[in-house]
Structure 1
Amino acid sequence: MNEPLAALLDGARARLDGAHREALGELVSPRRVLGLARAPRIVPRGTAWHLGVLLLTDDAVLATGEIVVAREEVRRGFAAESQRRRAELAAAAHRGGFPEGRPVHIGWRMLSLDAVDGESDPLRVVSGVPSVRWSAAGGHVPLAAYLDERIELLVHPPAGA
């Protein structure tokens, strides 16, 4: 295991104790019953602190995916297919048991601290320094400074946020 990276994440967990966590969910397609398809749903898979491109749980670090807000299913017209898909995901979260208006993270993926040098992961060791790529177009920044900023925003959000 990458010890400097693990130590940074453990320190972040200690500083986040008591801070707001967000729901993690997984999209599942139920089995057919008597040949009839049932609507997919998003089922709970725990909670995490949302730190930008990272989701931090008690024992893991995840790369973020999509965020949907649980909503009851309603019929309406859509100007774009992407709007229809978002509404379907929101309804799937509601069917999965998330209360109306609750943000849910889906499509996240577990990151291995042993393999932080992978090209696709946002975590990487650059010149011996644990780093994070905070956007697809951005470069890597030191993880310690990134965590400091994100934890401060989560624990003490700006007025009106």
Structure 2
Amino acid sequence: MPAPDSPSDDEVAASLRALVEHAAADLAAREARSEALARYKPARRIVAAKTAEPLEPAGRAWRLGVLLLGTDGRVFETGRITRAVTPTRSQHLSAQVEQRKAERRAAVRGQFAEGEVVTYAYEPVDLSTGALQAGEQRLPVRDGRALVRWGAAAGEVRDLAAYLAGRAGLR
């Protein structure tokens, strides 16, 4: 139960959104390195053959630990990461190695620059007050505080302002 003089969840949610906007503006002003965001584009069918699925560009974001902060101010939970590198021929190695090669191939087909880091399979974070209060995503609002869940367990939370200051300062 929050103390009687603590801010309401609506105020904390508004403060959280302002923190995110400020962090994005600060990173942009410092021209911090960002990463490409991508999503799989559905395969096309050409006559009887089906084309391979490329990763298509979906924006850019700064990686801040468990969060991706989009250059447009949106927030995402981190997803999978690959690098746009033309892979070598298949050598029938483990399924995981072949999967990583397929991901790199998809990034190359998506026209990303050779060597570019590409993040995909990320999840958007809903910054509405109701979603933040529910506490089911990386950014919960609890007891009048904006937090970030940085680990898998529900109790692994940290103050969002300190987290963003620390992570954005690393860039």
TM-score w.r.t. length of structure 2: 0.83
Shift of 1:79: 3.6
Say how many residue pairs are matched.
154
% same residue: 37
Alignment match, 1:132: 148
Distance 2:25 2:85 in 1: 33
Distance 1:121 1:64 in 2: 12
Residues 1-150 of structure 1 mapped to structure 2, 5 A cutoff:
2-17=13-28, 18-57=31-70, 58-114=72-128, 115-137=131-153, 139-150=156-167
SS at match of 1:123: coil
Shift of 1:140: 0.8
Distance 1:94 1:153 in 2: 29
Distance 2:19 2:166 in 1: 13
Distance 1:63 1:13 in 2: 15
SS at match of 1:45: strand
Contact preservation (8 Å) 1:26, 1:106: yes
Shift of 1:78: 4.7
Residues 13-65 of structure 1: CA deviation (Å, up to 9, x unaligned): 22212211110001123221102111110000110111111111223111110
Distance 1:119 1:35 in 2: 47
Q: For the pair shown, which has the larger CA radius of gyration, 1 or 2? A: 2
Alignment match, 2:168: 151
From the superposition, tell whether residues 120 and 66 of structure 1 become closer, same or farther in structure 2 (CA, over 3 Å).
Answer: farther
TM-score w.r.t. length of structure 1: 0.88
Structure 1: give runs of 5+ residues left out of the alignment.
155-161
Write out the 4+ residue segments of structure 1 that deviate beyond 4 Å after TM superposition: none
